[in-house]
Amino acid sequence: MLPEGFQNKMKSLLKEDYTAFINSFDEQNYKAIRRNPLKIDKDSFESSIDYLGDKVPWCEESYYIADNQRPGKDLFYHCGLFYIQEPSASLPVELLDPRPGEFVLDLCAAPGGKTTQIGAKMGNTGLVVANDVNYKRSLSLKRNVQLFGLSNTAVTNEQPLTLKRCFHGYFDKILVDAPCSGEGMFRRDDRTKNKYDGYEINKFTNLQKTILGTAGDMLKPGGSMVYSTCTFSLEENEEIIDWFLNQNPEFRTIPADNLFQLKNHVSFGLKGFDDAIRIWPHRQKGEGHFAVRLEKDPSVQANVHTNSEVNSLSIPKVAEEAILDFFKDIGLEHNAWFDNLHFERDKLCFFDSSYVKDINYIYKGLEVGYLKKDRFFPSQALAMVADLKVNKKINISSTHINASKYLKGESLYLEGDNGWTLITIDGYPVGWGKLVKGLLKNHYLKEWRLM
């Protein structure tokens, strides 16, 4: 049963559309998966995944799947070939349109669906800062960044105001997928629906105003940002944008239909906000969503400030020798990597940027590996990185029992040369192993193992 207050509000808002809207809650919600273009091309993906349905019209990489499918059990999911994402949730990043080489902030990023979409569109170039204020959720964000093979992404666990002090006028593009009342998720999330009557709308609108205002300060002149929610509420959508534009006259909305041809696939904003996009469950194949793109006047005086420090941490000699031995053993070309490697708390990291001080990093760039008693151990993140090229690898067929055994952390009897080796499933990297006389010691990350 839908909350009575919600029904009354939507009846007043939708008028003659209300009956179709309310009846849509008796229908099944839609599911989708989004291809990772960093790891697999369209034709290979469509031939490898046999349960794909129609494409999601607003996202080229997303496909509908049947409700009875369990893509999280697919071995290719564990290779990072796709992300499981509600269809409407892929819309805001398409609207944002991040480009290779840009600096992009995903301000409310967990669990990471939109971050992985941004990083993939940028081709692992430029910089993505993915932030979430919730520590536990930021750990899920880190895992998805690693699984998708992103090497251009840092994960932070900070309040937006702290980031603003460090990144004033810094980013080319910003995504604000704001916390909200979640009305658009009622069809698929009973917990959100059951909490609804206890919500105070001002709790969300005040938070949304703070977050959006802070994001605007971190955007470069001429930059653009997308504000999105998964709620139907006028107060949290069009009225928030109306408030923001009144407070920040240097911003304007950008018509959505100027960016892509969506008129036959989406709805547009209410109360005269024709530049915004809405997804309605009775009109489109997706849950409720709102998104609008905002642009900052390029003539505004730039006031860029970053509280940065150039990385100058040298790699200890013993660590350098161990790392070189590993690179040589697996046939990894190390010259390009060493220009941007740094050593921190026994971890070796790769990050092609100056660091910003005074920020709580959960993931400070690609973790290449770590030292233990002067021995180097490669990281799970290194195995998953999208453009990793090594000569020493062992492939396991997805139809062989050894594929699931490896993902469960079991030791395997395999043929190959002694030492570290990259393990692939149907040619797609999934983790490391160390082979000694035909027995592979499994180094698949313990936290990721199948039960």
Residue 294 has pLDDT above 50, yes or no: yes
Question: How far is 94 from 107, CA to CA, in rounded Å?
Answer: 16
> String of b and e for 235-265 (b: at least 16 CB within 10 Å)?
bbbbbbbebbeeebeebebeebeeeeebeeb
- pLDDT score of 262: 61
Both tokens assigned to 437: 């006389």
Query: Can you say how many angstroms the Cα of residue 406 is from the centroid of all Cα atoms in its chain?
Result: 26
Residue 157 host element (H or E): none
Q: How far is 35 from 120, CA to CA, in rounded Å?
A: 10
pLDDT of 310 higher than 80: no
Q: What is the pLDDT of residue 319?
A: 76
Q: Is the dihedral of CA 160, 231, 275, 207 positive or negative?
A: negative
pLDDT digits (tens, 9 = 90+) for 112-159: 999 999 999 999 999 999 999 999 999 999 999 999 999 999 999 999
* Over residues 247-258, mean pLDDT: 87
Does the pLDDT at position 312 exceed 60? Answer: no
**Average pLDDT rounded to a whole number, residues 315-326:** 81
Q: Is 392-451 in the same CATH topology as 4-296? A: no
Angle between helices 113-121 and 135-147 (to 10 degrees): 40
256 vs 211, which has greater pLDDT? Answer: 211
| Residues contacting 370, CB < 8 A, separation 6+ | 346, 347, 348, 376, 377, 379
Lowest-confidence range among 161-170, 266-275, 276-285?
266-275
pLDDT reported for residue 67: 92
Nearest to 32 by CA among 285, 201, 221, 263: 285
pLDDT above 90 covers a percentage of the chain that reads 74
- Can you tell me the distance from the alpha carbon of 352 to that of 369, in angstroms, rounded to the nearest whole number? 17
Residue in this structure with the two tokens 């964000």, named with its chain if needed: 141
Q: Is the peptide bond before 37 cis (omega within 30 degrees of 0)?
A: no
Tell me the pLDDT tens digit for each residue of 394-441: 999 999 999 999 999 999 999 999 999 999 999 999 999 999 999 999
Highest-scoring range by mean pLDDT, 211-225, 305-319, 381-395: 211-225
| Mean pLDDT, all residues of the chain | 91
Instruction: List the Cα angle 119/349/393 in 5-degree steps.
Output: 80
Task: Give the whole-angstrom CA distance, residue 167 versus residue 127.
Answer: 13
Q: Tokens 């959505």 appear where?
A: 256
Least confident of 40-49, 205-214, 256-265: 256-265
Q: Is the dihedral angle over the CA atoms 418, 424, 425, 427 positive or is it negative?
A: negative
For every residue of 192-261, DSSP letters joined together read HHHHGGG--HHHHHHHHHHHHHHHHHHEEEEEEEEEEES---TTTTHHHHHHHHHH-TTEEEE-GGGTS-
Instruction: Tell the CATH superfamily of the 4-296 domain.
Output: Vaccinia Virus protein VP39 (3.40.50.150)
CB 289 within 8 A of CB 228: yes
**Band of pLDDT at residue 245, cut at 50, 70 and 90:** very high
Percent of the chain exceeding pLDDT 70 equals 92
Q: What is the pLDDT of residue 26?
A: 93
Predicted confidence at residue 197, as pLDDT, reads 79
Each domain of the chain, given as residue ranges in start order, spans 4-296, 307-381, 392-451
* Interatomic CA distance for residues 256 and 276, integer angstroms: 6
pLDDT at 19: 96
Tokens of 264: 């036959």
The CA-based angle 446-447-449, given to 5 degrees, is 65
Q: What CATH number belongs to 392-451?
A: 2.30.130.60
Q: Which residues of 35-58 are buried (b: 16+ CB within 10 A; e: fewer)?
A: bbbbbbeeeebeebbeebeeebbb
Residue 167 contacts residue 308 (beta carbons within 8 Å): no
For helices 238-247 and 201-218, what crossing angle results, to 10°?
40
Q: What is the pLDDT of residues 28-51, one digit of tens each?
A: 899 999 999 999 999 999 999 999
Which residues form the catalytic set?
Answer: 230
User: Per mean pLDDT, which of 357-371, 378-392, 424-438 is the most reliable?
Assistant: 424-438
Q: Which residue has the higher pLDDT, 90 or 349?
A: 90
Q: What is the pLDDT of residue 42?
A: 98
CA distances from 272 to 239, 241, 269, 284 (A): 11, 12, 7, 21
Asked if pLDDT for residue 258 goes beyond 60, the answer is: no
Of 170, 243, 257, the closest CA to residue 211 belongs to: 243
Q: How is residue 418 annotated by DSSP?
A: S
